[in-house]
Structures are given as structure tokens and as C-alpha cells.
Structure 1
Amino acid sequence: MLDLLGKKAHIAPSPSSSRAPRPPRTSLQSARIPAASTPPPTSPSQIGKAVPRPRRVSMVVPHDSETGGWWLVVMRPSRERVEGWLASWWKRWTVLVVLPCLVVWLWVAVPFPVADPYQPGDSWHWPTPWSRHWPIPWTPSATLLAPGKVASLLLRFASSSSRNETTPDAPPPDGDDDDTLLPLDLNFFFFLLFYYGVYLHVALLFTTKIFDLYRLNWWPKRIGGAVSYFFFWAAALTLGWLVHDLDLIGAGGRKEGGDRGTDWERKTFWIGLTFGTMACPALVCFSVLKRDKRHLYRHSLTNLQKAFLSRQLARRIPASYLRFLWFMAALATALFALIAGQAYTSIYLSTLPHTSVDAAIWVWSWVGTTTTLSIVSSQILENKVRSKGLLFLFKYFSSLVYFVFYRNLFARLRSPADFIVVQTLSTIGMIIIFPLQMTSFFHRALVFLVGYPKTLEEHREGIAINVHTRSIAQNVSMVGFLGWLAILHYGPNSAVYPFFRFEDNPEDPYNFQFTFWASSVIWASELSSSLVMRLICKFAFKVDINGIGFGVMKEYPELVSACGWTSVHVLMNILMFLLKLNFR
């Protein structure tokens, strides 16, 4: 506005709008959620307008330097630190493969306090490493190693706090079917506070890292992350204790006459409780955004504009809110992939034994399932959410879910022919299918048939990321599998993980040594086929798989931490489902 003398008039900002200036725009605002602070009015038309309500959820601020302690290094490493981790192959292997597997190995190696289900007065004991060769799982407690005084007092307190004290009067006679025999009793409070507590803790960290890549903290800003995190973790443990203590689902205590059905019910409940807890952060974030009316256009209108435009704007949804809804859909797809994996595992275990053809059918049906879910989530993240970091993480997640099921299939392959059939199919997919997808002919076919919008260079970059995430998932799943295979065979938890228990029978080649070395040979063939495929891509198509994959990690430093927690969560998830639950 100009005054009568031609000079610009000074407009004093109103007290309600006198706030700090808006910070400079960064990639942080790719989530398109308006900032809490607003700039002062810059034109007369802005004077008197309503000030937007402050945001109740906080944004994740990317940073290039670290000012916190070790926890910040674990959760949000700086770009400089990530570049140092990725500078050499042994550092990459340590951070991306060894450390996640080490966390899982330590978790699964801690012995469960157990008790003899056919000895009513038997107290809790630590199982011994040689207990894997018990004739039956409930060998008298004389073969068990008594704990120290402090541990004994804690276990005695935990055992006296449980309501489910039903104990059979005597062991079943010799010759009964193994399916009707009861496994060892597990201490429920050890399972709840340590085994399940650590598993749930990692699941919430995995969810938090997904929101980090979306550049949005899921907790309310006034409450804070630590309080919100502890509340959901403690609430889930409390709910699990109540369901067990009150026997609300009929699977709280031990059942006589076999417990195959109740064992499935128990594991379904605990994993379902985990998925429900993982969904709570999304629901909290969704409710906060709804309460702040982020799903509506909040532009202030003049009286004339209100008369003509208010109804039209009320029917429109902001693009930022639609983006958030698509992000929620991708997260639901990830959780469904884990549920599908549990279903495949349950059906596979209930239909043992399998032939070589059966094993191949199982593998390829699981390949089809994970590929379909990966395509759905990739399309959502690439076209709707438009987040390269989330796209990379979800591709890695899908590959890891597939390979974890595929690895544990090895524990039930009984002949070299089974391993050869399964691995031949996997090698064909690595050496032939991926290079074929990079050809210009394949790209032109996609453009002609489905109107593929990507250029050839973008298409090859996407295939390279698929190969890179698949390679990391291959190594993580195999290293983790070989580690817990040895731990559960030689360690004290063999009795509570019968899936990994091998009997020394000269007439049956199905034993630990055969499974371990056959799996190692498969891993060596996978490394060789991966090297051949990378060389084909490098010399035939000028595509550097490692350069593209690690380049994305350097661009999004949070990806390294996110991939690590994803590995721990997925590996723990399959072990959680294979645990034999039987509570006193």
C-alpha cells in the first residue's frame, strides 16, 4: 500500500500474529505438514486472519552431526558417521549383518527357567546345555542345574504369583504318542518381562524408525517420546499378563492330553498383541492430526469468499493428509506381510513331512506372496508417498520376510536333493531374471503393455535397489539362521524350540551336521551367483549395484539404523512364533 506521498506505509503486525519467522524450507517439510510457527503478515489482506493452531506432533529434523550420546548414534547416526561405516566392506558387514544377528543370538540364547510338568512340587530350574538329549522333554529335575540364591528367590516369587497351577497327577505311560505329551513348563514372568518384553521393545523401535523416515514423530509433542513409548510397552505387557492370569482366551495355562491347538492360540495371541501395539503409534498420530483438523483446508477466508468457496473447500482433502493416509496403507501392508509369514509357517509345520516338489511349491508360492506385497507397497511409496528412503526400507523388509521363512525351511529338508531343487530355483532367479529385467527390450515391453512411466535409466536404478536390498537380506537371514541353529541345538533352549532339535540317528541323515553344512553350501552358492549377476550388470548395462544401493544409504543416513532394527525385528518375529509355549 502507498500513502498519499508515494511512500510505503508501515503496517504494524497485530499482537496475535507477532511470532518468530518461518525457518528456511528443507527436505524435512516433504511431509507437507504446516509448521507450528507462522510469519507475520506481509500484506494488508493478511491482517486479522486466524492463526493456525500449533502442531501437536513434532517433526524429525535431519542432521549432519551428532550432539548426543550412544543412543543417538544407534537411532539417528549422522551422515558423516554413516559414510565411515560404508567406507569398507568389513565395516558394512559389521553394521548391517553381524550386529543385528548378534542382538538376536544373545536374546535367544538366554535360558528359559523351566519346570517338570509331571512333578507338582518341582521348582523352577535353569536347563543345562546337554538337556537336548533328554529321552523326553520332562526328564526329572535331577538333571537340571539349580540357580543361585537371588535368581531362585525371583523365580519362586514369579511362580507363586501365577494362577495357573494345573499339573497332571502322573506322567503318561511309556509308548504314548509324543503329540499327547506335555513339554516343559516355562516361567511365565520370565517370558513376559524378558523374552516378550525385548521382542516388543524392538517392534516399537522398528515402527519408530519407519516414522523417522517419513520425517514425523508419532508421539504427541506435549507428552514426549519416552513417556509415550513406555506407556504402550507397559500397557501391552499388562494386557498380556491379565489375559494369561485370567485365562480369557482359554490358553493361559497348560492343557492335558496334548496342547498343539492351545500352543497355536498362545502364539497367535502374543504376536497379535505385538501387531496391535505396533499399530497404536499410527493411530495416535492419526487421531492427533484429525484433532488438529489437518484433513481440512484451513485457509482463512473473507466474508465474500466464505459465501462462495467454503462448501467447495470443505469437500477437498489436503494433499499432505492424503499422503499420510497412503503412508498408513503402506505400513499396514508391511504388518500384513508378517502375518502372512506366520500363516505360511503354521500351515507348513502342520503338514510335515514334505517332498522335494512340495518344498519347491512352498518356496515359489511364498515368493509370489512376498513379491505381490512388495509391488503393492512399492507403488504406494513411489507414487503416492514419494519417499525414496521408505521405498528402500520396505523393499528390504519384503526381501527379509521372504528369506527368513526360506531359511527356516532348511531345518526340515531331509536330503541333498531337497536342497539342490530349492537352491537351483533361487539361483535362476538371481542370475537370469534380474539381468533380463534390465534389458531395454524388457523396458520397452513394459512401456508398450502397461504405459510404464520410467525412463530406462530410472528403471535400471530401481532394479539395482531391488538386487541390493535382496543381497543384504540374503546375508542377514543366513548368518542369523546358522547362528541360532547352533545356539538352539547345543544350547539350553533346545527343549523349548523343538523345531531346531535334531536327534542323532544313523539311519536318518536328517541331523544338525547335515543341515548346517548344506545351508553353508547354499550360502556360498548364493554369494557366487550374486557376484556373477553383479558383474553381468556392471559390464553389460554399466550399472553399479553397490554404488547405487549404498548411495541411497548415504543420502538417507537414517536408513542404516532403520535396516538394522528391521533385521532384528523380523528375525525375532520368526523365532517368537517357533517357540513352544507351555505355562504353569
Structure 2
Amino acid sequence: MPDFFPFIPGSETSRTARQHASDSSPLLGRFRAVPRTSHRQRSSQHLRGLLAAGGGRGSVHVGYGALVTASLDSESDDGGSDYYDSDEDDDHWWDRAARAVGRNVRDLWVAPRQGAVRKVVESWWRRWGMLVFLPAGLAVAWCAIPFPQYPLNPDDSDRNPGSQRDHRAPGHGSARVQVNFWFFLFVYYGFYNLTALIWITKVFNLYSLNWWPSTLGFPLTVSMIAMLSIAAPIPVYMVPELNFLTIHNTAWISWTFIIMAMPVAIAFCIMMLHERHLGLRQSLSDTQRIFTSSWWTGEPDSVSSRPNRRRAGLSSSSFDPDSILQTSPPARGRIPAVVRRNWLPASFVRFVWFCLALTVGLLAYLIGEAYAEIYLRTLPHNNLETIVYVYSWVVTVHLLDALTGWILGASEGERVGSYPLSWIFKLYFMLTYQTYVRALYARLRSPTQFIMLQILSSSSLIILVPITMSSTYHRILGFLGLTTQSYASYQKLRIRDVFIRFLAENVSMLTFLGSILVLHFGANKDVYPYFAFDETGDERSYDFGLTFYASGITWACELIAGIVLRGLIRWIYGVNASVEGKLDLAVWPELLPTSVAVMLHVLQNMLFSIIRLHFH
């Protein structure tokens, strides 16, 4: 099977690591990411040539960017020779095309290579194609697959506004047709859950840990979970007394939450079964075990002491196998050795923090669905209520984002301490916020509401972001104890956030506009009454033209605001957000497929939250 988790451990003690390790080269999982170097890359003349060509220009850390570019150039020159043979010119064009497709799938999605990813992200149109148009196109195609539909019984209680089964306000749209349950389960919901499992798998990939049991392997384990995600809802549908659960979107999203939590639970159980939370990384020798209770009890013990220190004499309490081994008072200049039977290694503690970050991220699904439910139940809204709803959601998402960012960290010793994971979760929360704001646009009733939201968003972006990047603001945060990072590392994170916000805005708006078109004019119009925009003659009714064209103008304003913001940052601070984003994607190639997976799943959440389910 393909290597889903390629990883080469590094060493913090190597000369290369000591030479380049700094806050600017964050941790990748449990190891620091240091560019691989060769005799060609160590040439100062080659590095100067790269800088002159603009390879690292515009980066926060120009020298680091140059080293990365040199490493990628070397890989591009050296790699790829194993894909070809001397007889390739004699092959048919379809054979060469098949090999090229297989090579791209492997190098970009299964086992990403730095050279292949760099070729994709170095040009803006390829970067947009992979990170904006690809996830948006997949999400729109997913919701556009025609549902088998059946007429709705006029006497059905779901159509009766006074029925207690009518759980949706008119703003969401009443059910208009019945849909085929099996098509929904195996095609629509099945692909939704599959994307969720891919995202969780790719996140574990960034953490450099397999979540599945080695005895079963990845294909069998993920297939079993996928079959469970499909099989469990069938009894709920078959039992008439439980049918009311199937028409609630929140129930389906909650089940997906459980499915996504399974890999986390499996990985935690594997760690506990292997006793990764106990013992030493290297077992004690027989001589060392003489001075521990394990010599008599036969149980493994762990030592927490400084290396290369002589052990002092044992006290009488050490012969109690249930007690903590204490040493006698040490002589001056000696450090006592403490032997404990229970000791949590740093790797296990880091994994617990990682699981907590995943849990917080998954809870955002349920919280977002609750927000959408509250908003749709209380329609219509005036301008003030719309602003309060939007910015209460903004505050909620940013609080969850801040909590997850604190858990993950981006520097060594900060709980998980993984820059790539913090990158992905920042994208996840930024896109989660954007998708719910986009869905809100379909229920705005006047251009004034669009204008007010856009003025608040663009002005706050252009004014606040450059201020928060200043050294004065960084010193204030340090004085308040809110950051311990150097200014260069702090500035790097702020630039990264600008690049991520740009991706989230564009992919969410492109998906929103595409979904409006295919759901308003396509075969699933009655399945998504949220985008029907029926003409009722009511002056307060929602309008397709207003929503589509005002959203398009809003997108143009966001593009202009993004260009102005990046121009201000480059003018004031001399750094380029696009260069920083490209370097991140090239240094950590696994970010590319993980970003596409998380984008697709969050975009699916936006569309899944507004579908109207009433099964045949």
C-alpha cells in the first residue's frame, strides 16, 4: 500500500540543526523542521545567486527562505529520475499520461514531495487552481448531484406550520419534496463522511503519527469506520418512532462528529495499550535496576534525574515496592536521583494536548450549526440584529481559534509545538467563520446591509492588521504576558494569517456563488429551498438578483481590500504575504493536501447545514 505517512526523523543535536535551528524554523510534530542541505546548497555563491533571483526576497527570514529555495531546487534537479526509463519515448501517449497522473497524485496528495509542491505554488494561477478552485469545484459538484425526488404528501404534518415536527422557520425553507434516503446515505452523506476521515488522517499525518492499529492497517480500519458511519443510521430510518431524528441536520452533523472523533479515540487507546504514558524511552540496565523497586517486584520503573550523575545511597523506604524511591540526603554538589513508577513522558503529554486541540476544533461543527439554527428561527432581522449575529459568531470563532492556537503553539516547548498544525487549524477556523457569514448573505434584504457588513470588515482589516504587526504592539503583548515569541516569529505568524485569510475569503465566496447558481437553477432547487428565492410578492422576500450580484460586488471589495492590505504590509514592514505562504507550503508539502481536505469539508458543512431533509 502507499506510504500515507512518510516521515524522516531529524535530530536536534546535529550540526545542521544547531546551525539553522531558531524560532524561524518551527517544530514539525516532535522534530524541528530544518531544510536538508548538500555541498551545492552550502555554497555561499549559490545562495547569493538565489537571493539575487528573488528566491527568498520578501520573506521575514531571508536567509531561511534562501536555504529552503536551495533545498527545493536541489530536490527538483535530483528527484524524478526514478519515474522514467530508457524506453519511455517508445511508449504510447496514454501510457505517459497515466504515469504523469500517477506521479502527480503520489507527489502532491499521497506522499507530497517538496519539489512537486513547489512547482505548483510558485505560480499564482496554479496556486489558485489547487487551493481555491479545486475545493470550491468539488463542493459545488457534490451539492449539485441530482437527488431522486418524490412528491410531498399535502397532508404531511411537516407541511403544517402548527405541527411540532415542523422544526424549521420559513427562513430556512419548508420541505418541498421527499428525497431518497439510500441515495442520501450512500452518495451524499457518504462522501461527506469520507472527506471528514481524510481530513483527520491528514492532520495526524502532520503530527507524524498513525492513528490506526498496525495489525489492521489503514485501508481496513478506515473502511470499517466508513461502513459504520453508513450502517448506524439505517436502524434509525427503519424504526418509525425514530424517524423524527432523520429530518434534523444537527443529528447528522452530530453523528459525523462522533465518526471524526473515532480516529482520535483509537490513537489514544493505542498509546495507552502500548504504555506510552509509562516507563523510560530506554529501559534500565540490570545494574541500574538494583537500585530500584523493579529488582524485587519485576515491574518497569522510570527515572527522572539528570544524566551522568552518581547515585547516592538508598534509604530504607526504597524497599517498600509501593512507595516512591527516595535517596538519602545527598552530599554537597550532588543531585539526588528520584525513581518513580509513574511518569508521563513529554511525547505523551504532547499527544494529549494534540487530542484536546482536535476536540475543540470538532466542537466548532456543533456550535456553528447551533448558531445557524438560532439565526434561521428568528428571521427576519434588521440591520442591528444582523450585525450582532455576525460579530457574536466572529467573537466565538476567534475565541476557539485562540484556544486552539495556544494549545498547539508554534515554538518548541509550547505544548504541541507544531507550526504546520497551527497553520491548518488557523485555516480551519478562518474558513469556518467565513462560510457561515457567506450563508448569511442569502438572507440579507437590502444593499444597505451588504454595505454595512463590508465596510466594517474591510476597514477593520486594513487598519487593525498593520497595527497588530508593529513592534510596539508586540512589546505590549509581551508586557501583558500574552506572548513569549520573538518579534520575528510573531511577525511571521501575522503574515501567515493574512495569507490564510485571503485563501479562506476567496474559496468560501467562490463556493457560495457557485452553489447559488447550481442550486437555484439546478435539479436540487427543491432540496435546498434556502436558495429558491421564490417570488412571493412580499416586499420583505429574499431576491436572487440582490444576493448574487451584491455578493459578487462584496467579493470584488474583499479582493481590493486584500491587495491594499498586502501592499501596506510590504511598504511598512518590507515583507510579502504571498512569499511567506508559498514558503510554508513548499517547506511542509503535506500542508497542500491537508489544506484542500479541510477546505472541502468546511465548505460541505456550509451546504449541509441548509439542506432540507424529508425522506421518502
TM-score, L = length of structure 1: 0.76
Is 2:233 the partner of 1:198? no
Cα separation, 2, equivalents of 1:500 and 1:532:
33
Alignment-derived partner of residue 361 in structure 2: 334
Matched, 1:229 2:219: no
Change over 3 Å in CA distance of 1:571–1:358 after alignment to 2? same
Q: CA deviation at 1:93?
A: 0.6
SS of residue matched to 2:210: coil
How much does 1:471 deviate? Answer: 0.8
Cα deviation for residue 506 of structure 1 reads: 6.6
Matched with 1:529 is 561
1:384 match: secondary structure: coil
Please name the residue that 1:279 is paired with: 261
- Hey, what's the Cα distance between the residues in 2 that align with 1:26 and 1:445? 36
* Counterpart amino acid of residue 458 in structure 1: S
Tell me the equivalent position of 1:541.
573
Give the residue type in structure 2 aligned to 1:377: T
1:340-360 CA-partner distances (Å, limit 9, x unpaired): 111111101111011111111
Structure 2 match to 1:99: 134
Aligned residue runs from structure 1 range 288-299, under 5 A: 288-298=270-280, 299=282
Mapped partners of 1:441, 1:170: distance in 2: 59
* CA distance, structure 1, for counterparts of residue 615 and residue 204 of structure 2: 36
1:396 and 1:379 mapped to 2: Cα distance? 15
Tell me by how many angstroms 1:300 deviates: 2.6
Determine which of 496, 499, 503 is the counterpart of 2:530.
499
TM-fit CA distance, 1:168: 4.9
Partner of 1:362: 389
8 A contact 1:246–1:252 mirrored in 2: no
Equivalence map 1:510-529=2 (5 Å): 510-529=542-561
Name the SS for the 1:98 alignment partner.
helix
Tell me how far 1:430 sits from its aligned partner: 1.1
| Aligned residue type for 2:423 | F
| Aligned position for 1:219 | 212
> Alpha-carbon deviations, 1:12-62, whole Å to 9, x = none?
xxxxxxxxxxx98427996559xxxxxxxxxxxxxxxxxxxxxxxxxxxxx
Could you tell me which of 137, 151, 159 is aligned with 1:116?
151
Are the aligned partners of 1:172 and 1:181 in contact in 2 as well (CA < 8 Å)? no
For 1:267, the equivalent position in structure 2 comes to 249
User: Is residue 201 of structure 2 the alignment partner of residue 208 of structure 1?
Assistant: yes
Change (3 A) 1:222 1:415: same
**Does 2:474 match 1:443?**
yes
Describe the SS at the equivalent of 2:292. helix
Contact 1:113 1:186 in 2 (8 A): yes
**CA distance change for structure 1 residues 394 and 169 in 2, over 3 Å: closer, same or farther?**
closer
> Which residue in 1 is equivalent to 2:380?
353
Q: Does structure 1 conserve the Cα–Cα contact (< 8 Å) formed by 2:198 and 2:597?
A: yes
Output one character per residue of 1:283-332: Cα deviation in whole Å (capped at 9) or x when no partner: 11111111110011244333323239654432320000001000001111
CA contact (8 A) 2:438 2:509 kept: yes
Aligned match for 1:474, one of 490, 505, 508: 505
Q: How many angstroms does 1:188 deviate by?
A: 0.3
Aligned residue in 2 for 1:322: 349
In structure 1, distance between residues paired with 2:403 and 2:559: 28
Counterparts of 1:327 and 1:515, CA distance in 2: 40
* Paired residues for 1:65-464 under 5 Å: 71-72=105-106, 73-118=108-153, 168=156, 183-247=176-240, 249-251=242-244, 263=247, 266-298=248-280, 299-301=282-284, 302-307=288-293, 311=324, 312-382=339-409, 383-450=414-481, 452-464=483-495
Give the distance between the partners of 2:607 and 2:340, measured in 1 at CA. 51
Q: Indicate the residue corresponding to 1:141 in structure 2.
A: none
Q: Which moved more, 1:294-303 or 1:395-404?
A: 294-303
Contact 1:297-1:313 at 8 Å conserved across structures? no
Give the Cα separation in 2 of the matches to 1:171 and 1:283. 41
Q: Confirm or deny that 1:575 pairs with 2:607.
A: yes
Share of identical aligned residues, percent? 34
Q: Do 2:152 and 2:177's aligned partners in 1 also have CA atoms closer than 8 Å?
A: yes
Matches within 5 A, 1:3-42: 25-26=9-10, 31=29
Whichever residue aligns with residue 523 of structure 2, its letter is: P
Pick closer, same or farther for the CA change 1:307–1:506 going to 2, 3 Å: closer
Q: In structure 2, do the counterparts of structure 1 residues 568 and 305 end up closer, same or farther at CA, with 3 Å as the change threshold?
A: same
CA distance in 1, matches of 2:528, 2:119: 39
CA distance in 2, matches of 1:564, 1:503: 34
> Secondary structure of 1:354's partner?
coil
**Compared with structure 1, are the counterparts of its residues 24 and 385 closer, same or farther at alpha carbon in structure 2 (3 Å cutoff)?**
closer
Partner residue, 2:596: 564
Kindly indicate whether the alpha-carbon contact (under 8 Å) linking 1:404 and 1:571 is maintained by their aligned counterparts in 2.
yes
- Conserved? CA contact 1:415–1:510, under 8 Å: no
SS of residue matched to 1:412: coil
CA 1:222/1:577 → structure 2, altered by over 3 Å: closer, same or farther? Answer: same
Displacement after TM superposition at 1:511 (Å): 1.3
Work out whether residues 245 and 251 of structure 2, in 8 Å CA contact, stay in contact via their aligned partners in 1: no
Q: 2:586 aligns with which of 554, 563, 573?
A: 554
> What is the CA distance between 1:513 and its match in structure 2?
1.3
| 1:215 partner letter | S
Name the CA distance, whole Å, in 2 between partners of 1:170 and 1:31.
50
C-alpha distance after superposition, 1:210-250 (max 9, x if no partner) = 01110112111121111111100001100011221124644
Q: Render the CA deviation track for 1:58-85: whole Å, top value 9, x for unaligned.
A: xxxxx99687656433333221111111
Deviation at 1:439, TM superposition (A): 1.4
Give the conservation status (yes or no) of the 8 Å contact 1:497–1:579.
yes
Q: How far did 1:543 drift? A: 2.0
Shift of 1:566: 0.7
Distance in 2 separating the partners of 1:237 and 1:171: 28
Using the size of structure 2 for normalisation, the TM-score is 0.72
Residue 152 of structure 2 aligns with an amino acid whose one-letter code is P
Task: Kindly indicate whether the alpha-carbon contact (under 8 Å) linking 1:31 and 1:320 is maintained by their aligned counterparts in 2.
Answer: no
Which consecutive unaligned segments of at least 5 residues does structure 2 have? 1-6, 13-26, 32-74, 84-101, 295-300, 303-323, 325-338
In 2, the alpha carbon distance for the partners of 1:169 and 1:360 equals: 35
C-alpha RMSD of the superposition: 2.8
Q: Could you list the runs of 5+ residues in structure 1 that have no partner in the other structure?
A: 1-22, 34-62, 119-137, 139-166, 254-262
Structure 1 SS opposite 2:524: helix
For the Cα contact (< 8 Å) 1:465–1:549, is it kept in 2? yes
The separation in 1 between residues aligned to 2:576 and 2:113, in whole angstroms, is: 25
Q: 1:266-287 CA deviation, whole Å, 9 max, x = no partner? A: 3122111111011111111111
CA distance in 2 between partners of 1:247 and 1:115 (Å)? 19
Shift in alpha-carbon separation, 1:170–1:365, aligned structure 2, 3 A = closer
Q: Identify the range of structure 1 (315-324 vs 179-188) with the bigger mean alpha-carbon deviation.
A: 179-188
Per-residue CA deviations over 1:368-418 (Å, capped at 9, x if unaligned) read 011111111111111211111111100010100000001111000000110
Partner AA of 2:277 in structure 1: H
